[in-house]
Structure 1
């Protein structure tokens, strides 16, 4: 994987999903791993999160994106239960 190319591609695609530049910069600072997934997976995850009702303009959207990086079904269920609380 070419890290500079992957992160640049992901940073460029997130505004198309509705994520603000401020939130993208925050993600680079706090959760850089969420921007290291393949661009195709990032797009699919972003769509899945929007379908679940998360607003791309909020920090919780990027938190979910980070959580979806390498989830298992049990981890995702646990993450959703924690978020609901």
Structure 2
């Protein structure tokens, strides 16, 4: 389970214990709008009001890729391809 927040944070939670597992070490510059897990659940992608997408490690909270910028407006949805090679 993951949450994206208006305060720019991405947090991964344990669905059974409701405890925080890891929090993204960096933040978007505006609120997080959408999240998507990779098929193997080792990565989560976040889309933001700041017009960017970032890929995070669900194990360490490290930023793995991005920010992918160049959008002209909010990024309202993000998803991994079935093979998790593309967003």
TM-score strictly above 0.5:
no
More strand by share: 2
* TM-score normalized with structure 2 length: 0.31
* TM-score normalized with structure 1 length: 0.32
Higher relative contact order (CA 8 A, sep 6+): 1
More helix by share: 1
